[in-house]
Chain A
Amino acid sequence: MQLRTVLLAAVVGTGLSFLVAGLTVDPRLPGDNSGYQPAQPIAYSHRVHAGENKMDCQFCHTAAEKGRHAGIPPLSTCLKCHEKIVNRPNSKEPSPEIAKLAKAFKEGQPVAWNRIHRMPSFVFFDHSRHVNAGVTCQTCHGEVQTMDAVVQARSFTMGDCLNCHRDHNAGLKARGMPPAAPTDCSSCHH
């Protein structure tokens, strides 16, 4: 009797303490990965490319308006410019990061980037629908043009997706238009 009570209390206590600790230290829902900012094998800066040099996102992420994935550009895309541009920005010194790129291309070794934005296997997100509907990249990915290392800006939980879709539809409704952002389960899960 005694033992059982103690055991039960221990189990429940441990559980609760984890729960409380989890919620106070980092209050977030399961699946919410916002703030994730892993180091990358090549210190590529979106700030320099998309911010300072004002390159369009789709210059490199060419598939964003065509298919489900925006796509990480092949090394050959990088080398279109970086065959010539090998120095650090505003400097005469060669950049060790660009050298890594050239080396990988020469050796035929793909770069193993650390994936930041990741959906579970049962979620099917289509970039092309969003890009073609006029949703900016920044809406979901944050101000990428200011980031040296990309960080996940939003939670990308189902609630996050649905809130945006519902807000959009509410806006359309106010203007007397039919809903355009689907909220059916099978729009994303199939």
Chain B
Amino acid sequence: MRIWKSLGQRRGELQPPADEFPEALPVGESVRQVTRRDFFRWSGLGFAVGLASGCDSKKAHKAMALIQGQEGFTPGVDAWYATTCRGCSAGCGILAKSRDGRAIKLEGNPDHPVGRGALCAVGQAQLRDLYDGERLKGPRIDGSGPGGSAARDCDWAWLDRDLEKAFAEVESRGGRVRVLSNTLTSPTLRAAVGRFLEGFAEGRLVQYDPISTSAIRLAYERTHGVSLMPAFHLEQARFILGVEADFMGTWINPAGFGRAYASGRTPDGKEGMSRHVQVESGMSLTGSNADSRVRIAPMETPAFMEHLAFEVERHVGLNPAARILPLDPKLSRKAEELAQELGAHAGQSLVLCGFNDLHAQIFTARINRALGNEGRTLDLAKPSLQRQGDDAALDSLLREMAEGRVDALLVLEANPAFEVPGFEQSARKVPLRIGLGLHDDETAALCTHLAPDHHPLETWRDGEPLAGTWNLHQPLLNPLFQTRDAAESLAQWAGRPATAQDQVKTRWQAEVFPKAGGLSFGDFWHGVVERGFAVVAIEAPPPPYREDRARTHSEWTARAFLKAADHQLLLYTKVSNLEGRHAHNPWLQELPDPITKITWDNYAQLSPGTAEDLKLQQGDVVRLRHPGLPDLVLPVVVQPGLHGRTVAVALGYGRAKGGKHGTGVGTNAFLWVTMGALRGYQGLPVELSPTPQRTELACTQDHHAMEGRELVREMGFAAYAKDPAAARPHEHSGALPSLYAGHPKGKHQWAMVIDLSKCSGCSACVISCQAENNIPTVGRDEVRRKREMHWMRLDRYYTGSEEEPGVVHQPMLCQQCGNAPCENVCPVVATVHSDEGLNQQVYNRCVGTRYCANNCPYKTRRFNWFEYGHSDPVERLALNPDVTVRSRGVMEKCSFCIQRIQHTKAQAKNEGRELRDGECQTACQQSCPGMAILFGDLNDPGSEISRAMTDPKRYLVLGELGVMPAVNYLTKIRNGEVPGEAAPHAGGPHA
């Protein structure tokens, strides 16, 4: 078998499930045994009572109208606002759909230069964050601080009065005030912080990033004399080398990078396909997309980069310094090969390194410099401001605090008590601790005063993610709780109260408008509010390269580790959870990891070889030890493609105060981040010792084993470019003789084409679908019982060997079969075919026999085992009012976003015109960073989808069954070696 889904399947250990819903009803356990007689007795009574009472629906329902009408506001009609995502510090532009005064969906802003229209899973899930009923609901004063005797909620006036006294005290003690935050991209907020700190004798702002990229800034300070992080332009690169940088998953700006990357992955384009090589110790989402992967031990990166820099510089004719670091000869040869390839793409290549090590980053900067990539694929004149954290400053702040040299600490947009080891002990020495966060988290527990900020979708703010690119955040609704904007709080405490809106406007009038030009600020501001951003020219030339300093490296921070421990730690972040900031968000907790397919947990990943050596299996609990650190006890996940020495553990789990969904999920690995001038996330030697325990991971991987059929197809670019027609599958076209007469054909025939070459597996579509279609989360236990509810899932297949597998991601959703097996078996006609080719699921008819799910070859139907969630009055606000909330006992599945189809059709008809091609987008299609999903009307011969249907790469999943799916896939083209290339169609039953 060439394609495999899990190690168990590959080795033949895994038995296909005996039945699809293996769990019997709990009759006789929790429920009293019901006899037939009881059943009739009670059902008879139920029938009578139902007749007597059930038909009366004359209960009065109230209808409330507005008191004052508002211009431009129509009840039930969407309004879209351009604002900015604050799920991470990337600063992607979003368009937020608002209905009847509340935000109901977030989508990427296609005009925006950062996200370019893409919005990742975390960004999509910000909607659920907004309507989190567990957010802090107002200011709070803790008894342990000055001015209070018992912890209590208070009002803002009280808090301000109390703080006024406290600040006076601080000033009398010496006025040493620190503001600690994650990267603040907002110039307005930074200015507010500055004004606040001015009032004290010695005030300072310290920024850090939970996942630090501090080394990049430090490296550029050495090589170019300026502490900056370049802006990367992947769309300009024909050859991308990623080294320990998960740039499509979690690194800096994944959504924007994902879209830029995908733009070069068109095998049919004139320029051919870009090539991507990933060098990594773990198995990242980005690595899973690479044309070629090089495995490397976590601590080998600096040596590898040195050798690569040496080879590249030699290749372009520079005279490189001798290499110092020893490297495995195999990797050294690999570096030589890569240098050749990079050299062939000089000026059109890009090397990205995610290792937070100064020397690795200096080498990266040197390589990009030597290749002439500066000014082309990476921009130093308009650098990125998305990560401005300074590890050294954080380190000295901890020391200052521990020594009692800080009088007051403000924490803003950060949760250091969770993310920074040693923070809590140090911070307790600070008498006045003020938290401005949104959540009652670990940091809030530590604070003497809480002044909760608004949610980003409730307030005015700005941001400058790239130099010269200014974002605007605007409120979608009035604040749900008694919170106050951080900028307003700071202004209040600085004695110069101003609303957040005024502060933003003033700053833009002073800083942006003069550069952007225009007749009046009023007009300019209107334009900005409409577009959501402004781009101003930056005239300054890029900083010059300083040859002398780039080469002076006498000390090697990394060398201490190079004694090559057998097992080295790799701390990484998951696409779904990032650094744990969103742990309270159940959408993200339940999002399967794109690679392991595990939800609701973190774990220790080991390579198959290492696991075998240690006699460990998936689910065994293992203890990770390192002298001086608390042990980490984690379940094992055997991960193909991992380097043999790697022990990979995800950060962001094990929150002590992560709300009802995040608390106690997984284990906190932040304790293992090494502090210092540069925080270290990888390379720490680890000792592994098995424990007798086992745990069952909530994994969605093997639920839908596809029995060895060729469901994903893959082909090398070289072979495809030579003869595109060779990609055409030799399988059945799908039209088999049928007993049934065909379905009547209406005006439209909806179909979808998914390009596997462009799907990175980032899972933005899964969350987009969840938000659009009111899909509930079910919790860890229910996922273990295989009852997750996602309509859109991503199947992940491995090809090749266990050590060096290729990975293919396949979005799988209801295939809207033209000859649907589910329709024939429904006893109550609850799933029927529409004349537009849709397979309709009628919830109000469904009685929950589950015959349809049983008969579905794609296993895309989901059954509501319980009345899931949706009962919290605040959480309910996130529901899409266009989609029915399904109740218990009802089957559901992807509808091709029928509500969006209906909406656009109605709009076109109201305007007296025909539907335009591309006007109707499904939620998954809209969110996809890779633009892998195409949706449209086959009856329109000029439509893009009609063109895509003639693509030689097109194939149907299980087309041989004759179910005539409306979802088509395009064979994945990999710009490199494809295992088993000699027989591209092998494995298909009709080959």
Contacts and interface: CB of A to CB of B under 8 A. Distances in A.
Interface of A: 4, 7-8, 11-12, 14-15, 18-19, 22, 30-31, 33, 36, 38, 62-63, 65-69, 71-77, 104-105, 108-115, 118, 120-122, 124, 126, 128-129, 132-133, 178, 184-187, 189-190
A111 B77 CA distance: 22
Given A71-B76, A76-B69, A190-B884, A122 B844 contact: yes
Contact of B65 (A12, A74, A122, A126): A74
Interface in B735-749: 747
Interface string B55-89: 10110111111111100001111000000000000
Nearest to B69: A74
Most buried by A among B51, B65, B843: B65
Given A30-B55, A66-B77, A113 B834 contact: no
A33 B62 CA distance: 16
Given A11-B41, A74-B68, A128 B62 contact: no
Contact of A129 (B52, B54, B883, B906): B906
Given A18-B51, A128-B910, A132-B910, A189 B884 contact: yes
B895 A186 contact: yes
Contacts of A71: 65, 74-76
B840 to A, nearest CB: 4
Nearest to A65: B910
Nearest to B835: A184
A22 B842 contact: no
B64 A112 contact: yes
Interface residues of B, number: 48
Interface string B682-707: 00000000000000000000000000
Interface string B20-39: 00000000000000000100
Nearest to A117: B63
Contacts of A124: 882, 899, 902
Interface in B198-244: none
Interface string B551-565: 000000000000000
Given A115-B62, A186-B840, 4 more contacts: A63-B75, A108-B67, A122-B844, A184-B835
B838 interface: yes
Contacts of B55: 22, 30
B74 A189 contact: no
Contacts of A8: 40, 44
9 contacts: A11-B45, A63-B74, A68-B77, A69-B75, A75-B65, A128-B910, A184-B835, A186-B898, A190-B898
Contacts of A73: 65, 69
Interface in B821-850: 832, 834-836, 838, 840, 842-844
B51 A15 contact: yes
A31 to B, nearest CB: 7
A75 B69 CA distance: 8
Contacts of A74: 65-69
A184 B74 contact: no
B885 A121 contact: yes
B48 A184 contact: no
B2 interface: no
B48 A190 contact: no
Interface centre among A15, A33, A65 (most CB of B within 10 A): A15
Contact of A184 (B54, B61, B834, B844): B834
B843 A11 contact: no
A11 B48 contact: yes
Given A110-B64, A122-B884, A19 B51 contact: yes
A190 B51 contact: no
Contacts of B549: none
A187 B840 CA distance: 10
A117 to B, nearest CB: 9
Nearest to B53: A18
B385 to A, nearest CB: 41
Contacts of B61: 114-115, 118
A176 B142 CA distance: 77
Contacts of A72: 63-65
A122 B835 CA distance: 21
Nearest to A38: B60
A31 B898 CA distance: 25
Contact of B54 (A4, A30, A75, A126): A30
A122 B895 CA distance: 15
A110 B843 contact: no
B866 interface: no
Given A22-B55, A124-B902, A184-B836, A189 B44 contact: no
B62 A75 contact: no
Contacts of B882: 124, 190
Contacts of A184: 834-836, 838, 840
B785 interface: no
A67 B65 contact: no
B843 to A, nearest CB: 6
Nearest to A129: B906
B916 interface: no
Contact of A67 (B48, B75, B895): B75
B77 A67 contact: yes
Interface in B74-131: 74-77
A114 B74 CA distance: 21
B574 to A, nearest CB: 33
B844 A104 contact: no
B254 to A, nearest CB: 32
A111 B62 CA distance: 9
Contacts of A105: 67
Interface string B882-893: 111100000000
B63 A189 contact: no
A71 B899 CA distance: 20
B909 interface: yes
A100 to B, nearest CB: 13
B428 to A, nearest CB: 48
A128 B908 CA distance: 12
Nearest to A113: B63
A75 to B, nearest CB: 5
Nearest to B912: A132
A31 B57 contact: yes
B844 to A, nearest CB: 5
A110 B75 CA distance: 15
A43 to B, nearest CB: 16
A189 B844 contact: yes
Interface string B872-905: 0000000000111100000000010011001000
**Which of A19, A133, A185 gathers the greatest number of chain B CB atoms within 10 Å?**
A185
A28 to B, nearest CB: 8
Contacts of A128: 906, 910
Contact of A104 (B45, B52, B67): B67
Nearest to B42: A11
Contacts of B60: 38, 114-115
A76 B48 contact: no
A66 B74 contact: yes
A137 to B, nearest CB: 17
B48 A15 contact: yes
